[in-house]
Amino acid sequence: MAAEKAEGHRQYAVAGYLSVLLASALFGSVFTLAKVPLATMDPLALSAIIYTIAGLGLLPFAKASFRLATRREYYYLAIVTIFGAVAAPVLLLYGLQQTNAADAAILANGEIVFTILLSAMFFGEKPHGRVGLFAVILVVIGLFIATTDLKVSETILEFNAGNLMILVSMLMWAIDNNISRRLTSNVSPAKIAMVKSLSGGLVLLAIALALGKSDSIASIEPSLWLIIAGMSVSGFGGALLLFLQGIKRIGTVKTMSVFSMTPIFGIVIAAIALGESISVFQGIATGLIIMGILLVSRH
């Protein structure tokens, strides 16, 4: 009986690891796929369409239910929607419009770092000892290199604005992750993903229309709709659902450790699809970040 229980627990955890690995691959593809519509579309309008489609695509998995058990859950859901489905995607797409896909993929690891740091600051999950501190320093150095390519100017205003916006978007998603963890104990990942995505998409759509972005939406060609729909359902909606499944099954720290594979997938896809070369700085930054994240997760 005990052996069967242990085996069941192992399979449950393995499913969590596989879910996060697939989520990292799907999200890694976003940095390349989004480049296509961003060439002709406004980022705000694009983010509105992406999250609306993602939310609609998740309806069957969430059984189309918006009802939650407590008032606190509605409060948490409002927070993750504002940070994770409104602010973060807009910043990501505006940033991606101004930088290359490979750099954006590397900076995606900022989400992992910020998630761990916020968890340490507010929920007591701190990296232990000198090794933990060293790991955080490695990641910070890696993110600095990825953001600046070591072209440190006299003023921060000369930094790549796109990279900085992507980094801030990762902070928004880190806040989302820590709050979502509290929700997954009582609410299914599918429902969280669906309600957050659809609510965020509709809010962004209202903002886009209010700011006169309707022409950007109306002028989308049919071939572009296929790319946007695929990216919405898989790269955002599907990745989010799998990511939340991972948090529920294996916890936040282990989930973020596996999710650190995102830049690897992102860089490879960008190199193959867009022909972007991988610079020495990108390689160094990626290595430092992944090494630091692995050390944090083990200590």
pLDDT in tens, the chain (299 residues): 566 666 667 788 888 889 998 999 999 899 889 999 999 999 999 999 999 999 999 988 876 555 666 788 888 899 999 999 999 999 999 999 998 887 788 788 788 778 878 877 776 666 556 776 677 677 777 767 765 666 544 334 446 788 899 999 999 999 998 898 888 778 888 888 899 999 999 999 999 999 999 888 888 988 899 999 999 999 999 998 999 888 888 877 778 777 877 877 887 888 888 776 677 777 787 788 778 767 765 65
Within a domain: residue 2?
A: no
- For the chain, what is the largest distance between any 2 Cα atoms, rounded to a whole number of angstroms? 66
Within a domain: residue 9?
A: no
Cβ neighbours of residue 88 closer than 8 Å, sequence gap 6 or more? 169, 170, 172, 173, 176
Cβ neighbours of residue 260 closer than 8 Å, sequence gap 6 or more? 24, 109, 112, 289, 290, 293, 294
Distance, in Å, from the CA atom of 294 to the CA atom of 253, rounded to the nearest integer, reads: 10
Q: What is the pTM of this model?
A: 0.81
Centroid of chain to Cα 127: 22
Distance, in Å, from the CA atom of 245 to the CA atom of 173, rounded to the nearest integer, reads: 16
Instruction: Give buried/exposed letters for 233-263 (b at 16+ CB in 10 A, else e).
Output: bbbbbbbbbbbbbbbbbbebbbbbbbbbbbb
Within a domain: residue 8?
A: no
Within a domain: residue 259?
A: yes
User: How does DSSP assign the chain, residue by residue?
Assistant: -HHHHHHHHHHHHHHHHHHHHHHHHHHHHHHHHTHHHHTTS-HHHHHHHHHHHHHHHHHHHHTT----SSHHHHHHHHHHHHIIIIIHHHHHHHHHTTS-HHHHHHHTHHHHHHHHHHHHHHH--PPPHHHHHHHHHHHHHHHHHHHHTT---SSGGGS-HHHHHHHHHHHHHHHHHHHHHHHHTTS-HHHHHHHHHHHHHHHHHHHHHHTT-HHHHHT--HHHHHHHHHIIIIIIIIHHHHHHHHHHHH-HHHHHHHHTTHHHHHHHHHHHHH-----HHHHHHHHHHHHHHHHHHH-
Q: What is the pLDDT of residue 236?
A: 93
Identify whether the C-beta of residue 213 lies closer than 8 Å to the C-beta of residue 40.
Answer: no
**How many separate domains does the chain show?**
1
Q: What is the pLDDT of residue 154?
A: 39
Within a domain: residue 6?
A: no
Residues in the chain: 299
**Phi/psi-derived region of residue 251, left when phi > 0, alpha when psi is between -120 and 50, beta in every other case:** left
Distance, in Å, from the CA atom of 93 to the CA atom of 165, rounded to the nearest integer, reads: 9
Q: What is the pLDDT of residue 157?
A: 41
Within a domain: residue 10?
A: no
Within a domain: residue 119?
A: yes
Identify whether the C-beta of residue 244 lies closer than 8 Å to the C-beta of residue 186.
Answer: no
Q: Closest by alpha carbon to 198, among 96, 62, 25? A: 62
Tokens of 113: 């770092």
Distance, in Å, from the CA atom of 2 to the CA atom of 219, rounded to the nearest integer, reads: 61
Distance, in Å, from the CA atom of 204 to the CA atom of 155, rounded to the nearest integer, reads: 33
For residue 140, what are the domain limits? Answer: 17-298
Within a domain: residue 147?
A: yes
